[in-house]
Amino acid sequence: MPDDSPTALPVIDRIIAEATASPGAAEATTIDVRVGPYWTVVQSSVGTGLAATLAHAHEHSVAPVGQPGSLHRLSPIVLAERLRSASAPESAVGLAAVNALLAGAAEEAVDGNARELLYERAEGRLLAVIGHFPFTDRLRAVCRELWVFERAGRMQPGDLEESSMDELLPHAEVVAVTGSAVSNHSVETIVGRMRRDAFSVMLGPSTPLARCLLELGFDVLCGTVVEDPEAVVRSVSQGAVTDQIPGVRRVCLWRLPG
């Protein structure tokens, strides 16, 4: 495993701690690990988790994922620790393992569609989106103003540099954050910049259903439950994008009132 991971990742540490302490985690075994071009999946004895396989500029002299070919022999708890890695593909393996361990949290979630939720909550309001979504342009049509923050190298016309979040994010009334903010570690800075009264959502199949994220300020986590692991593993291995992955269900885990 690469040893260049950052040392100060308090939010990531809380997510890993919650996942590895979840029911059944200590005895869980790994069934399969696949790193597809767009999605990574970890199938375990307690659940199956997805995470986006982030684009990675790879030098042949550097191994982006440690122990390839043997990952299925490692426990989900050990794999989850890789979420701390500075290597994008390895961090995705860690997040998929975290999501596999947190699969039981879906029992407290309700069926829901993040897209429709955002259309409703963002209407006439100042919306900040961190990471692109397929429906970003439609959100622009309903909100009062839209800011899209993106990392260098992934920016599209009209996007704002990630560094501008320092100044602008505290003014947003609604905040939508891609679940990939966990695997690329940008969640560490995002949680400290959101307005306390902003309506904030983390969404996408990468989103961990971790209650610690609700404690840190998110109102709702809109993630994915894998109901047919074999179909998901097969489709991810064959290059499926989000809408091509069968056997999944979209759910929302809300912060408890009070």
pLDDT tens-digit readout, 228-258: 999 999 999 999 999 999 999 999 999 987 6
CB atoms within 10 A of CB 193: 19
Residue 237 host element (H or E): helix 229-237
Please spell the DSSP secondary structure of 191-203, one letter per residue.
TTTS-TTSEEEEE
By percentage, how much of the chain surpasses pLDDT 90?
82
Examine the pLDDT at 2 and tell me if it is beyond 60: no
Taking Cα atoms as reference points, which of 35, 104, 45 lies closest to residue 70? 35
Q: How many CA atoms lie within 13 A of 71 on its CB side?
A: 26
**Ordered structural domains, the chain, with CATH:** 10-107 (3.30.390.100), 110-228+243-254 (3.40.50.11590)
| Cβ-proximal residues to 120 (8 Å cutoff; 6+ apart), any chain | none
Examine the pLDDT at 58 and tell me if it is beyond 60: no
pLDDT tens-digit readout, 110-122: 999 899 999 999 9
User: What is the per-residue pLDDT for 1?
Assistant: 45
- Kind of pairing, strands 174-178 and 248-254? unpaired
User: What is the per-residue pLDDT for 59?
Assistant: 54
Buried/exposed code over 80-117 (b: 16+ C-beta within 10 A; e: otherwise): bbbbbbebbbbbbbbbbbbbbbbbebbeebeebebbeb
Averaged pLDDT score across all residues of the chain: 92
